[in-house]
Amino acid sequence: MSPALPRPGLREVEPYAAPQLDVRARLNTNECPYPLPEAFREDLAAAVRLLPLNRYPERDADEVRERLAEVNGQRVEGTWVANGSNEVIQQLMLAYAGPGRRVVVFDPTYGLHARLAWVASSDVAHIALEQPWRLGSEQVTSALEDDPDVVFVCSPNNPTGNAQPVEIVAELATRGEALVVVDEAYIEFGGQSALGLVADHPNVIVVRTFSKAFALAGARIGYCFGAPEVIEDLRRVRLPYHVSALTQAAGLVALDHMTDALAIVDAVRSERDRVLEALPGLGVEAFASDANFVLFRTPHPTERVWQDLLDRGVLVRDFGRVMPGCLRVTAGTPEEIDLFLSALEEVLR
């Protein structure tokens, strides 16, 4: 019997994945190092006990959308919720990209933007940014050549950590007709949000997540703000009942504990800044960051540095293939950062 054949080129692409290893300091995926407090767990347990799990969840997560809209000063009809910000982006690609349509990304940036555009069978254009990886009018002109359908802006950018100027996002939206997708997964840690552009720019959509500042990477909750007509288009491509009742409950309870989340953000920023201050003393080039991680460059092969750190119980992210000499470390707890800095000093010595 003949085997079923996948789409051309599919098996030439490796699954997107980051190592999940049991080490003393897992600092490779920009997760929050602290859980929300025990009161959150108790409130969530109480909420879950009341869920009618024999029934489908509320189809469009309306209560979560209402709360998010209220907290962020947005319209409910311009607010959307999904299973992590990656699903929001996937839905945007299904609605606005696709065969024969052009998607622009500014490299280096979050790899899922281009991958999800490819999954939707879009044409992907890569525009390379030079250090310090800051967008300007020249890059806007390059991005808008050939009339793209979608342009991604990641701010603060992953993996470089720098925020992009909001005025450049506005320029992208004003000079072109493309949907400008602003990925603000790390906005709580620094940088200026583009959320203020949404009301007057119907082609701007701002994507956020509960995974970082809200310490809920395991719950998979993402959301976005945009023009109501864009949100309606997402409803047309989303799977039915795509956000589980458990996920919706976690989001609502997390919003009740926003004060706790903001306290965590301050602690993470403090460790990020400690890393930025310490690395130059080790002979390492560290790049300023508005996010919860730090990109750094060593004089040694990244594969060797990565493995030597892992041997000492520290897992970081190796970006050497796309950015020579560069690795990225998440801002962890003080104990995790102590271990990272001492391990790195050993490795470099």
Q: Are 328 and 41 in contact (CB under 8 A)?
A: no
Instruction: Quickly tell me which residue has 């796309």 as its tokens.
Output: 322
Q: Are 293 and 161 in contact (CB under 8 A)?
A: yes
Q: Are 48 and 248 in contact (CB under 8 A)?
A: no
CA distance 168 to 75: 24
What are the structure tokens assigned to 209, written together? 């997540």
pLDDT of residue 170: 98
pLDDT class of 141 with cuts at 50, 70, 90: very high
pLDDT of residue 291: 98
69 CB-contact burial (10 Å; exposed 0-12 / middle 13-18 / buried 19+): middle
pLDDT class of 3 with cuts at 50, 70, 90: confident
> Average pLDDT, whole number, for the chain?
97
Q: Can you list the domains of the chain with their CATH numbers?
A: 21-36+259-348 (3.90.1150.10), 38-256 (3.40.640.10)
DSSP 61-90: -HHHHHHHHHHHT--GGGEEEESHHHHHHH
Q: Is the pLDDT assigned to residue 17 strictly greater than 90? A: no
189-200 confidence digits (pLDDT tens): 999 999 999 999
